[in-house]
Amino acid sequence: MRSILKLITSVFLALNLIGCVKKEVLDDISLIEGIGFDYIDKKNILGTAVIPVYLPDQPPKKTTFSTKAEISKSILQDIQRQTADPIATGSLEVLLFSKTLTEKLGILPLVDAFQRDPSIGSDLYLAVVDGETKELLAGQYGIRGNATYISKLMEHNIKNEDLPQSNLELFLGDFYQEGKTPFIPQLKQIGKNKMKISGIALLKHGKMVDQIAPDKMFFFKLLVDKYSEGMHRVKIESGEAAVRSIHSSHNFELTKRNPAEVTIHLKVNGNIDEFTGQELTPKTIQELQKQFEKDIQKECLKLIQHFKDKQIDPVGIGHFVKTQTRNFDFKNWRENQYKDLVVKIKSEVKITESGVIE
Amino acid sequence: MNSNVPNSKKISPFLVFFLIHTMQSGVGILGFQRIIAKTAGYDAWMSIILTGLVVHILLWMMFKMLKIADGDITSIHTFVLGKKIGKIFSSFFILYFCLFTITVLRSYIEVVQVWMFPELRTFWFTLALLILAIYIVFGGFRTVAGIAFFSIILPFYIDVLFVVIIPYSDFTNLLPIFDHSVKELLLASRDMSFTLLGFETLLFFYPFIQNPERSKKWAHFGALFSTMLCIYLAILAFGFFPEAQLQKNTWPTLAMWKIIKLPFVERFEYIGVSNWGLVILPNICICLWCASRLAKQLFSIRQKTSVTAIAILCLIATSLISTRGQIDLLTTYTGKVGFYFNFIYVPLLFAGTLIAKKVRNREKHT
Amino acid sequence: MFNLFKNKNAEKESLDKILAKSDDYKCIDYFNQKTNVSFTLKFLTTLIDEKTVQESILPYLLEENFKEIDDAKEIIPLADIQISEDISQIEDKLFTGSVLLTVNGKENKFCFLGARKEIGRNVSLPEVEFSVIGPKESFVESLDQNLNLIRKRIPVKELIMEKLTVGTLSKTKVAILYIDGITNPENVDTVRQRIEDIEFDEITDSSYIVQIISDNQNSPFPQLLDTERPDRISAILAEGKVAIFVDGSPHALIGPTTLVEFFSSFEDYYLNWILSSFFRLIRLFAVVFSILVTPVYVATLSYHYELIPQDLMNTLVASRRAIPFPPILEALFLELTIELLREAGARLPTKVGQTIGIVGGIVIGTASVQAGLTSNILLIFIALAALASFTTPVYRIGNTIRLMRFPFLLFAELWGLLGIVVCFSFLLTHLIRLTSLGRPYLEPLYPPRMQDLKDAFIRLSFDKQRKRPFLLNTNQPNRFHKKAAKDKKDIEDE
């Protein structure tokens, strides 16, 4: 009996001694689900954290904390001083940056903290907000909390619509990849409790230099994503059709060197969702295909020319040329070759189905 | 020599596969991609193949030597160098294995401290792991081999799970191939050798293999499997990270886990890091076992005593190392010692054995 | 045993003296008028069937031509008659239900007449290992009856029964059964040696033997399989294992055994192999689930909130919000409640036990959730884990599994998932080191043997079960001869 007592005491003593790993009991921490950053002045930023309060049988109640600081971690520290429970960043879902901040300061110094923190996953959405993030986060969207709303919004648009794949991991990947410019989606508040995706922000060295309008996103996704879905309206003489891409692929080919010439092969398989004309004959389908191919060529070339003018490369042509060339000189590429680059687009559209109506 | 080990304590030849493979896949596999890419860029996967080939040659040499000397490394040393000098040489390996144990332990605990529990006390966790290791070694070599077996089989699902990251990867990163000089590739091969270390334990447990002739092919399979696994992980990491980003990650293998998301588990790296404890466990056990067995053979100390003594030594040493810099230094030194032992000493010893054999044969004839 | 009596005569006298203290000891003198011989019958009334004495012994002794002790064999119509001059046998015989017959004046020669009273229950339904399909008989407390059940199932001369007696006070009869020519004699020797070496006074059940002859007595894992099913014993004897029967125990033991055998119900062999394999896998899953679910809950909620999927977060946090305890206390509280319910259910008579189970389960469960002592999610987990632990077909291993949860819980509290891995490694090492009668306990997992995997996690069809387990190293490795290979038939071939 005595030995058992001794054993129990020693076990508990040992537990006390060894068990000094910091606990983060789920209900005793404040889970930050989203953070927004706004521009104040050259040195200071305003951080807003979304911390939902979970209640039984009810949608989570939203609370936000805002604070002013110089770097992102000190924002968290300052929010620590405002919350009842210690904050935890492990289930962070979205990082938002206001447009002014992205243009003036750049997001890199802010992202660094999140890249370094092992408790933060890579599957984290970044977005630029057209306006102030604080205002955006003040709204009440959906029933699952603001951060979840935003992440779900982006998730389904990436999966089924024309928003290209984007998350922290891909952003960093593009950033570190030489010869590629990162991009992140852009959000805009359009009402008190409403928001929408208002384009794609292109960032050079972390600073926003340009954006893609929503109507160009379909072509942008075709250029940057391996697979893309989305819808495009094609106009021909006999009517207008909405074609939904169900499968697409893109391939780069280096057709000539000095000056470099890159051919981009784009293949789209699509269905017709809607047609305003009288009759959908095989001929009209042929016409639609042709027109769609032309649209793709025109729009994509326009986009690429625009990128070249802006000295950015979100498609990653620089990276592609590098993979085809030994001892590739990026400096030379950026300064001279990229300007002279010739890009050709070859598109191929195949319309496979046209709905259940003949 | 062989007759010393009772048959019931021996292991079947195909378990050698697991012993060799488990020794080669320890903590090193979590972060080798960065190190080899430093010199050879994304051509470094070729360096892995090169190192793998050298490992096979070394394994062949070891089997040859062991067959000639019919025993383990101590008998080779006696065969080549004579009893007294042989003993001195052999006793260095006790230190080598202590160093190896400390490195594995400390590096793993560092991973845990960085990824999961920054407050984890090195001393207490090492104590728990070492008690576990002692418990295993006390069970004899069969138990050690058993742990090696399960440490490959059970966490195997992790290797398969890496498939999830393929959609996020861009394998054109590897292009163009042969963008680096031969010298760079060779340097990367040398760096790679640190990761593939550990197969030298064969020299110590050889007498415990039933029918050692048949274990040859399993040992080679084990080494081949390690090489393949490294190539697999390297190519995945090269596809996943652009070169500049890879250099920023101390543990690329772990960082890749961050993207893995399962329906019931949001983040995988916590499970992975915990599971890795099982992967490194046999490394500690095999090293402890080798060191204590050497102590028994050389100084006739009871193995139970020597295991405990060595474990206490490792415990103290491990808890004294605290900063990233110190750990780096330790890893580098262990890598160097291992490199010299495996890639320089073993071939020399091989040559020595062949010469000694010739000399003896001639003596016999005359 | 008590070798107090050195002198033979003194031995007999003092035996009489001690016996005289017991009221059931009878020593009666009789006189045969035909031959003028007076004789004495000595017996213990509690052990003797008086009807036998009255009908088969006394009438013949009194009325037949009984002159000398040797005549008894001829005149008494009993099978079990033994004439002896060995005084040391007297005590043994008296206490196993014999009547001692001596002719007065010639006390150095005596006769034992077997007249044992048989009190025991009849063969009944198996209660611990019930199965829907298959034989419905189970062992009882009588050794002879149990052996009879086995002999009926294996009516061959190669089935060998060796009897031993163990226990200084209990003098328990133990029988070792094996099939000569199949079973490896090494295993039989090990069993025999270990049983002979038993040093204990009172062996009341086979459970004593299990614990005493186990390879590692300090392990919570049972190292010999115990069963109450004669069909299981006979099938396992045919595999080449050794069975141990203990008088007074309705459970027979089998060895050497492996861990996976504890998770196979004997009903598995009565179902089609696909079904039984599926059920086996479910049972194994249940075991893993039952051990790990609460520790993982504690680890995740205390340390790794990052693992929880976003959609689950709301439910989990909301259910935990009002609870004042850390997850570990919450889990321990519920685990202990379940253990209490089980313990209470096991101690009470069946009908009351069921009521307690239902009342306890429903009332305490709902009340503790409503009172904010536990979260309802954990309640579901714990109830499922308890349910899963009851799926184990062998009762003993079920207990072990319930116990296993607690060290896992402690380690989970200590280091989260890492702690679970450490604890698992300890368990794994323990299992690797464990042996059953000197054979590896974790076989066919480790040492890995493909051949024995045919009847481990899954059970393949009977034509794939041609080989006896490699583990047993049997003298005859094949169970049946393979028929000459049939030609592979094509579609619509005859």
**Where exactly are the structural domains of chain B?**
9-359
What is the ipTM score, two decimals? Answer: 0.94
The shortest CB-CB distance from C326 to any of A25, A55, A88 is to A25
* A110 Cα to chain B: minimum distance (Å): 17
**Subunits with 3+ C-beta pairs closer than 8 A to B:** A, C
Across the interface, do B117 and C306 touch by the CB < 8 Å criterion?
Answer: no
Dihedral sign, Cα of residue B274, residue B279, residue B281, residue B283: negative
**Rounded to an integer, what distance in angstroms lies between the CA atom of residue C101 and that of residue C99?**
6
- A123 to chain B: which residues are within 8 Å by CB? 258-259, 261
Superfamily of chain region A215-358:
Nutrient germinant receptor protein C, domain 3 (3.30.300.210)
Q: Count of H helices and E strands in chain C?
A: 16, 12
* A184 Cα to chain C: minimum distance (Å): 22
In A, minimum Cα distance to B267 occurs at A121
Q: CB contact, 8 Å: C275 with chain A?
A: no
Chain C, 415 to 434: residues with Cβ < 8 Å from chain A are: 415-416
- B248 has pLDDT over 60: yes
The shortest CB-CB distance from C417 to any of B15, B136, B271 is to B271
Give me the sheet containing A194-204, strands edge to edge.
A61-69, A45-53, A34-39, A94-98, A125-130, A183-191, A194-204, A207-212
Strand-pairing partners, residue B11, are B209
B and C: number of Cβ contacts within 8 A: 79
Q: Which two tokens stand for residue C373?
A: 């002592």
Dihedral sign, Cα of residue A29, residue A30, residue A35, residue A38: negative
C38's enclosing H/E stretch is: strand C37-44
Going residue by residue through chain A, which has 358 residues, state the pLDDT in tens, using 9 for 90 and above. 456 556 656 665 666 556 567 788 888 888 888 888 898 888 888 888 888 888 877 777 888 888 888 776 778 888 888 888 888 888 888 999 998 888 888 888 888 888 888 888 888 899 999 888 888 888 888 888 888 889 889 989 888 888 888 888 888 888 888 888 899 999 998 888 888 899 899 988 888 888 888 888 888 888 888 777 788 888 888 788 888 888 888 888 888 887 788 888 988 888 888 888 777 788 888 888 888 888 888 888 888 888 888 888 888 888 888 888 888 888 888 887 888 888 888 888 888 877 777 6
Across the interface, do B143 and C429 touch by the CB < 8 Å criterion?
Answer: yes
The DSSP string of A50-88 is: EEEE--TTSPPEEEEEEEEESSHHHHHHHHHTT-SS-EE
**Rounded to an integer, what distance in angstroms lies between the CA atom of residue A353 and that of residue A275?**
12
The shortest CB-CB distance from C305 to any of A54, A60, A88 is to A88
- Cβ neighbours for A66, distance < 8 A, ≥ 6 positions apart: A46, A47, A48, A49, A134
Contact C69, C109 (CB under 8 A): yes
Superfamily of chain region B9-359:
Amino acid/polyamine transporter I (1.20.1740.10)
Q: How confident is the model at residue C462 (pLDDT cuts 50, 70, 90)?
A: confident
**Rounded to an integer, what distance in angstroms lies between the CA atom of residue A313 and that of residue C165?**
91
User: The pTM is what?
Assistant: 0.91
Q: What is the pLDDT of residues B133-179, one digit of tens each?
A: 999 999 999 999 999 999 999 999 888 888 888 888 888 888 888 88
**Rounded to an integer, what distance in angstroms lies between the CA atom of residue B18 and that of residue B222?**
6
Q: How confident is the model at residue B106 (pLDDT cuts 50, 70, 90)?
A: very high
Q: pLDDT averaged over chain A?
A: 84
- A180 to chain B: which residues are within 8 Å by CB? 242
**Subunits with 3+ C-beta pairs closer than 8 A to A:** B, C
Strand-pairing partners, residue B78, are none
In terms of residues, how long is chain C? Answer: 494
Q: CB contact, 8 Å: C308 with chain A?
A: yes
Q: CB contact, 8 Å: A121 with chain C?
A: yes
Chain A, 7 to 66: residues with Cβ < 8 Å from chain B are: 17-18, 20-22
- High-pLDDT (> 70) share of chain C, %: 96
- Cβ neighbours for C358, distance < 8 A, ≥ 6 positions apart: none
In C, minimum Cα distance to A90 occurs at C306
* B42 Cα to chain A: minimum distance (Å): 11
Contact A194, A140 (CB under 8 A): no
- C302 to chain A: which residues are within 8 Å by CB? 23-26
Chain A, 129 to 168: residues with Cβ < 8 Å from chain C are: 144, 148, 151
* A22 Cα to chain B: minimum distance (Å): 6
Q: Count of H helices and E strands in chain A?
A: 12, 14
Neighbours of A7 (CB within 10 A): 10
Across the interface, do B277 and C422 touch by the CB < 8 Å criterion?
Answer: yes
| C interface test, pick of A26, A50, A51, A151 with most C CB neighbours within 10 Å | A26
| Averaged pLDDT, C253-278 | 90
Across the interface, do C313 and A19 touch by the CB < 8 Å criterion?
Answer: no
Across the interface, do A25 and C319 touch by the CB < 8 Å criterion?
Answer: no
Specify the DSSP class assigned to residue C455.
B
- C42 has pLDDT over 60: yes
In B, minimum Cα distance to C416 occurs at B274
- Cβ neighbours for C130, distance < 8 A, ≥ 6 positions apart: none
The closest alpha carbon to A226, from A289, A138, A164, belongs to: A164
| Averaged pLDDT, C260-267 | 89
Q: CB contact, 8 Å: A185 with chain C?
A: no
Across the interface, do B172 and A320 touch by the CB < 8 Å criterion?
Answer: yes
Dihedral sign, Cα of residue B166, residue B169, residue B172, residue B176: negative
- C332 to chain A: which residues are within 8 Å by CB? none
Q: CB contact, 8 Å: A115 with chain C?
A: no
| Chain B residues with a Cβ under 8 Å from any Cβ in chain A | 114-121, 124-125, 128, 168, 170, 172-176, 178-179, 240-245, 248, 255, 258-259, 261, 266-267, 269
Across the interface, do C304 and B270 touch by the CB < 8 Å criterion?
Answer: yes
The shortest CB-CB distance from B179 to any of A22, A320, A326 is to A326
Q: CB contact, 8 Å: A227 with chain C?
A: no
Contact B248, B263 (CB under 8 A): no
- Cβ neighbours for A158, distance < 8 A, ≥ 6 positions apart: A164, A165, A166
Across the interface, do C305 and A18 touch by the CB < 8 Å criterion?
Answer: no
In B, minimum Cα distance to A326 occurs at B179
Specify the DSSP class assigned to residue C364.
I
C280's enclosing H/E stretch is: helix C273-302
Taking CA atoms, A52 is separated from A32, A140, A156, C54, C314, in Å, by: 8, 11, 22, 91, 9
- B317 has pLDDT over 90: yes
Q: pLDDT averaged over chain B?
A: 89
Higher pLDDT, C160 or C80: C160
**Rounded to an integer, what distance in angstroms lies between the CA atom of residue C282 and that of residue C280?**
5
The closest alpha carbon to A153, from A96, A100, A212, belongs to: A96
- A169 to chain B: which residues are within 8 Å by CB? 168, 258-259
- B60 has pLDDT over 80: yes
Q: CB contact, 8 Å: A177 with chain B?
A: yes
3-class secondary-structure state, position C204: coil
- C452 has pLDDT over 60: yes
